[in-house]
Chains A and B, each alone.
Chain A
């Protein structure tokens, strides 16, 4: 049964962050009153430049760093007061390839399961290792593995105790294309089994490929949280710019049905439209311009990408 304080968060939120701030001893404020709800079963991508606060946020939720203010609950369990229940639900794949170099793959995965309070289950661990193509390497010492393999070991460790929430901190940093695709597939499989996934990345492509929702964090502030499709629709806007032969004083009345903007000097008309819409209206617009005798010397169309929006969001707050 969910405790009372869960009622103030979204009913389907599995991770709920409220007013979370973090100021390090150096005085650096890594997080500024962050509110965030992660929905049960979703893939959430947290985007942001280096030093934006992504890792600090994850570290607080996982119990590695103490928050300065605010509360975090995982499936209704407060991460401080009820840390055992909260942490038991979480798996973390850290950004750094920190491994026990002298241990075998099997020993380290077994250790992780025990550490998280689960009874031994060799069959389950075997399943994970097979899925991550690590079974053949189970008796190898970790230090003999490649970087990509070590990353897989960290994932296997994080999954060893059957977590319900998986944090992937920059999972594909320094990872080759093949492993990246394997990892994406694995993330989708996990999601199908009901695991909620929160990943941080600064590869926008990755967020586009994998996430259901996207949050952008910059300088410790969560500047945007949006459903990916909504975001893509917003970003799916295209612009057509027409350089006119003769500047106009205002947008002619006959063009009222198109949302047009005239530049300050009157020499450029800009038409913004939905690239994914069925009718873009470009052909009609051009015919109408022709009919009205408005000539243009050049035209070009442009498309905003997630990257543009990201950069502009991050810049405007810099």
Chain B
């Protein structure tokens, strides 16, 4: 195992984050705070409780998930797309590193960033609404699992993309709608019966509900199913990454 290489990639990626502190940390925290102000404090005060918790508190897990998914994907996809775009990928390809080391470096850094961000949002939320965390261990576990899974997914997008538009299209056109429709802002029991069924095909439903369960002990779907679905997606992403590196797809001619 080339530990120096993993460390070099990891540090390089983390340095990129801290260089762009405003963009990578401050702006997601700010935009999530705006959600809390608007939905939690302003509109939420006029709404009843959902599943036994105030609306402001109800949306916290969903909002953290929303940021976590978007940031994991954009961090990881950008991290590997930039060297491809700038041409510096030659160095990675010519280095004595295995694919496992490359993934550990890039995905590890991207996941670290999103976890930091998730925790920052959690702390920020405290300024606006009171909440409790019933299962802190599972909360952290879901946070880590989601961050790693979607960083891997972002890494795949970054390898696949050959222009900036492709880099943006999946987060904007797929992830954002899925997150908004995935029960971040409502309980799926509020939906008409047909949509309740359709919604179960949305993977984000399982992420948000598993995470919400770790906060308040209630969820629309079984927490075991949530965890299993997330782990399942993680394995699918690992499989795709393994295939990409084995074939050199989009990396080596």
Contact = CB atoms under 8 A, between A and B. Distances in A.
17 contacts: A25-B253, A62-B90, A64-B90, A64-B93, A84-B2, A86-B96, A92-B90, A96-B87, A98-B90, A102-B16, A111-B11, A114-B7, A114-B11, A115-B4, A115-B9, A115-B95, A117-B96
A113 B87 CA distance: 18
Contacts of A88: 96
B96 A62 contact: no
B6 to A, nearest CB: 9
Nearest to A112: B91
B12 interface: yes
Contacts of A64: 90, 93-94, 252
Nearest to B5: A115
Contact of A66 (B8, B88, B98, B248): B248
Contact of B8 (A83, A96, A102, A115): A115
Interface string A116-138: 11110000000000000000000
Interface of A: 24-25, 62-66, 83-88, 90, 92, 94, 96, 98-103, 107, 110-119, 157
B95 A87 contact: yes
What 10 A-B pairs come out closest when comparing CB atoms? A114-B8, A98-B87, A84-B96, A87-B96, A62-B94, A117-B2, A88-B96, A114-B4, A115-B95, A64-B93
Interface in B1-50: 2, 4-5, 7-9, 11-12, 15-16, 19
Q: Which of A63, A85, A110, A119 has the most CB of B within 10 A?
A: A63
Contacts of A157: 91
Given A96-B87, A102-B19, A114 B96 contact: no
Given A66-B253, A111-B12, A119 B4 contact: yes
A164 to B, nearest CB: 13
A117 B90 CA distance: 16
- B interface majority secondary structure: helix
Contacts of B95: 87, 115-117
B86 A116 contact: no
Contacts of A25: 253
B94 A63 contact: yes
A94 B90 contact: yes
B10 to A, nearest CB: 10
Nearest to B88: A98
B97 interface: yes
Most buried by B among A25, A94, A98, A117: A117
B92 interface: yes
A84 B3 CA distance: 13
Contacts of B90: 62, 64, 92, 94, 98
A229 B56 CA distance: 83
A115 B252 contact: no
Contacts of A113: 4, 8
Contacts of A107: 12, 15
A85 B8 contact: no
Contacts of A83: 96
Nearest to A85: B96
